[in-house]
Structure 1
Amino acid sequence: MIEVSPPDNGNGLSMRTVTHVMYGLFALGLISAGFLGLATVAAVVLAYLKRADAAGTVYAAHMDWVLRTFWWGLLWLVLSLIATLFYLGWPALLVLGVWLVYRVIRGWLGLFAGELPTPDL
């Protein structure tokens, strides 16, 4: 069973706030088109650091969602950049950008609704 909201003991930020910050950092990295790539890396580090604290809650699923988005996006970014050497990677980079934006919006909307991020098709 997944708990929607873990009890807040008043020490520091709530897990919901941490998850919103994580999505915000990831989105900042995407909006800046890589110029603020450290924001995306910070979101990933935050997700790894707080994943154990969020275990058994809906927030753990959101952290896994962001981590899967990052690692799959990084893989496809590398493959697309290699393919640009043969002029085939530009459409793949465009599709990757749309997919990344979709994943961040979909996950963040799920967080606002207090739900799990929905799986991809």
Structure 2
Amino acid sequence: MQDPNAPPKPINAPGHGQPLQPAIIVYALYGAGIFIPFAALAGLIYAYVERGRDPVLDSHLNFQIATFWWGLLMMVVGFVLAFIIVGFLVWAFWIVWLVVRLVTGFQLAQANRPVSAVETFGLKAV
């Protein structure tokens, strides 16, 4: 019987390359999306297309899809509130939130580990 507290085993089998490559690509597209908005949209589409191939990959892709939709909501709320100046604070929070999610998710993908939870108000992938 396996220990339920043991860390997940890497899914990198010989001849299979980098199994989390699609997740790494989406993280990169989302990062580029800060400056080029259509890059994030391309990342969202790619994440939806690549889902369903591997449970560890799916954990990252589901995390990324949620990141896109919550980020879009924050951008819209920030735009509406920009007329009373508060929106600029929402946008600043969105940038910090996005960067932390991208960095922590990317680190997990590089280590071939799934996104098993999100800590600190949805800020950090673990």
TM-score in same-fold range (> 0.5) = yes
C-alpha RMSD over aligned residues: 2.2
Cα contact 1:47–1:67 (8 A) shared by 2: yes
Output the CA distance in 2 between the equivalents of 1:14 and 1:91. Answer: 38
CA shift, 1:7, in A, is 6.0
The answer on 1:114 being equivalent to 2:112 is: yes
Q: What is aligned with 1:46?
A: 46
Q: What is aligned with 1:28?
A: 32
Q: What is aligned with 1:75?
A: 73
Q: What is aligned with 2:21?
A: 17
1:5 is aligned, of 5, 11, 30, to 11
Cα contact 2:79–2:87 (8 A) shared by 1: yes
TM-score (norm 1): 0.81
Output the CA distance in 1 between the equivalents of 2:9 and 2:20. Answer: 12
For structure 2, list consecutive stretches of 5 or more residues without a partner in the other structure: 121-126
Output the CA distance in 1 between the equivalents of 2:40 and 2:10. Answer: 25
Deviations 1:76-118, CA, capped at 9 Å, x for gaps: 1101110011111111110111001111111001111121224
CA shift, 1:4, in A, is 4.3
For structure 1, list consecutive stretches of 5 or more residues without a partner in the other structure: none
Cα contact 1:3–1:58 (8 A) shared by 2: no
Q: What is aligned with 1:61?
A: 59
Distance 1:3 1:71, change over 3 A: farther
Q: What is aligned with 2:123?
A: none
Question: How many residues matched?
Answer: 113
Cα contact 2:20–2:112 (8 A) shared by 1: no
